[in-house]
Chain A
Amino acid sequence: MASLKKTGSNPAAAAPLEPAWERVMNARKEDRPQARDYMEKLFRGVFEVQGDQCMGNDEAIVTAIAWFETFPVTVIGQQKGHTLEERMRCNFGMPSPEGYRKSMRALKQAEKFQRPVICLVDTPGAFCGVEAEAKGQGRVIAEHLRAMATVKTPCISIIIGEGGSGGALALSLADRLIMLENSYFSVISPEGAASILFKDSSMASEAAKNLKLTASDLKSFHIVDAVIREQSGFSRTQMDESTDEIRKAIRVSLKQLTRLSPDRLVENRQQKFLNMRGF
């Protein structure tokens, strides 16, 4: 996948990086905190729910029940992996249909037990392979979108790194969408756009600018509700301040959302997106 190549990260380049491209590069940094890192910091008593009970257990998607402060919550996270071994197990964060089915299972249980859902979004995209297509990758993402559109429990999605197209969107149809400062959310990878637009994937920096994929771009389109600033030197080993900001954002959102009746909540969520006309 394009995100695994270090295109354009030439330290010797004299010109300053295009700001949007710099965000993309930051979102892909290897030592950037991932879903499991946040799960450790944000939640207590994490119990992982495994497998789609049909075809397998996709480690690109982690689902768990856990305590967030005084609330039991359902956590759905996309995990890319830190070490090579972990990255391979997680298929570099590119979920297969099994992963989305596991996630839908978690959504169903969350509704049954009236647990809020916290999604941690971080994927270069849903997996593009023969097996994934044969198992209905498109259909399973469509079903996941419908599940999130109708689930009668609060949903908060946080884009913590890469928001790669449909694979990320599946987990983003939420009551609140929050982005970290150095995350991106895009219809196509900058490399993919560059190879179509300029017939040259090394023009990814230019494409990143044109795609308007940064957190502040999405804030200006009213697609995200909040953008969380990242502390200086933000990494796996230095993430406490930013995690506190995330915790606060979740707390505030839950306070607002848990006040609503399940029907009102779903109606508000649906109207929020229906009103997002974009023209």
Chain B
Amino acid sequence: MNLFMEELNTAVSSEQAVLADAPDMLRCSGCGRDMVADVVLAGDAACPYCGSLFRQPAYRRIEAIVDSGSFIEIEREAEGRDPLSFPGYKTKIEKERMKSKMQEGVVIGKATIKGLRTALAVMDSYFMMGSMGTVVGEKIVILAEFALTNRLPLVIFCASGGARMQEGILSLMQMSRTTIALARHSAAGLLHVNVLTHPTTGGVTASFAMQGDITLAEPGALIGFAGPRVIEQTVRDKLPEGFQTAEYLYEHGLIDRIVERRDLRETLAALLALHNGDGSLRTYGKGVFDGGVS
């Protein structure tokens, strides 16, 4: 079994290629046109020619989803060690930090969406393909505990190549740790919504990405447990058309809804309003219908 980002090169509609001789350019796999990466990714990260979705960096995503100025980040500086002294890992981490301008693969905090308070985690596939090591796991745990203490719902944007190989068994343990923290949040009657974005695979799929009350996905996103190449090697055959896309999962009854990127803010606000940011019958009659979508 292979849970890693190197397995994710199979193109789906929202895949993109950075041009080797021009790293500041992106090539859209939808229409084959080249464009300036910074400009496209600073906006809605969709191809201006054909509309194909690129992977959206975490801070751009937050800007697009939450009420302007409402996001307060927590644990911004959290920074991992190299617990296994894994060959080449320290250098790789440094490079990824420089390249992505991110400390790690997930950003967490609290915000409001159309006035409704929520705890929010956004994974960033530009940092080691959003792979989950000890820091990513710990930040999800911290956020779930924060949401529990403050009785907040939880929205998680998932994007991950899976558990991070370079932190070995400690990465795998993050699947257990996030599961527990989210089970405690859930037991308090609080809402957890997942948005699965391209790509969501491996250990993240097999833990918190599939533990929400509601599961949304972006069109064309690759979502699966094993990477397509591993499966191809196992079955020694071509994979079915559209295999492991959001649409495929929807048809198989594994996710609730596919939502266009531009509609995510509305959809999340509607879900938060339905659960009143609390989701408990105890608040019935105490203004449960206040704070709905305006």
Contacts and interface: CB of A to CB of B under 8 A. Distances in A.
22 contacts: A127-B234, A128-B225, A129-B231, A129-B234, A138-B225, A142-B209, A145-B206, A145-B207, A146-B179, A166-B202, A169-B172, A169-B175, A188-B1, A188-B3, A197-B87, A210-B84, A211-B165, A211-B169, A221-B169, A278-B134, A278-B173, A279-B138
Contact of A218 (B81, B134, B169, B202): B169
Given A187-B163, A192-B2, A279-B81, 10 more contacts: A126-B1, A130-B240, A133-B225, A133-B243, A166-B202, A189-B2, A197-B87, A221-B83, A279-B83, A279-B138
A152 to B, nearest CB: 12
B177 A274 contact: yes
A143 B210 contact: yes
A223 B84 CA distance: 14
Contact of A138 (B165, B206, B231): B206
A166 B3 contact: yes
A55 interface: no
A142 B210 contact: yes
A221 B83 CA distance: 10
B76 interface: no
A166 B224 CA distance: 13
Contacts of B168: 186-187, 210-213
Contacts of B87: 197, 210
Contacts of A188: 1-4, 163, 165
B169 A223 contact: yes
A130 B235 contact: yes
B179 A145 contact: yes
Nearest to B177: A273
A186 B168 CA distance: 6
Interface string A177-209: 000000001111100110011000000000000
Interface stretch (B13-21, B180-188, B285-293): B180-188
Contacts of A223: 169, 173
Contacts of B80: 279
B1 A167 contact: yes
B158 to A, nearest CB: 11
Interface in A117-133: 124-130, 132-133
A1 interface: yes
Interface of B: 1-4, 6, 80-81, 83-84, 86-88, 134-135, 138, 141, 163-165, 167-173, 175-177, 179-184, 187, 201-203, 205-211, 223-226, 230-231, 234-235, 239-240, 243-244, 248, 252, 254
A139 interface: yes
Nearest to B164: A187
Given A166-B3, A188-B165, A149 B224 contact: no
Nearest 9 CB-CB pairings of A with B = A125-B1, A138-B205, A128-B226, A138-B225, A142-B210, A278-B170, A141-B206, A139-B210, A278-B134
B83 A278 contact: yes
A273 B175 CA distance: 10
Contacts of A143: 210-211
A150 interface: yes
A257 interface: no
Given A133-B224, A221-B169, A166 B252 contact: no
Residue from A124, A132, A145, A217 having most chain B Cβ neighbours under 10 A: A145
A25 interface: no
B133 to A, nearest CB: 8
B209 to A, nearest CB: 7
B177 A134 contact: no
A211 B84 contact: yes
Contacts of B2: 128, 188-189, 192, 196
Given A145-B175, A210-B87, A279 B231 contact: no
A173 B179 contact: yes
A127 B183 CA distance: 26
Contacts of A164: 1
Given A128-B225, A130-B235, A133-B243, A142 B179 contact: yes
A268 to B, nearest CB: 12
Given A166-B3, A166-B202, A210-B84, A273 B173 contact: yes
B225 A141 contact: yes
Interface in A136-178: 136-139, 141-143, 145-146, 149-150, 164-167, 169-170, 172-173
Interface string A261-279: 0000000001001101111
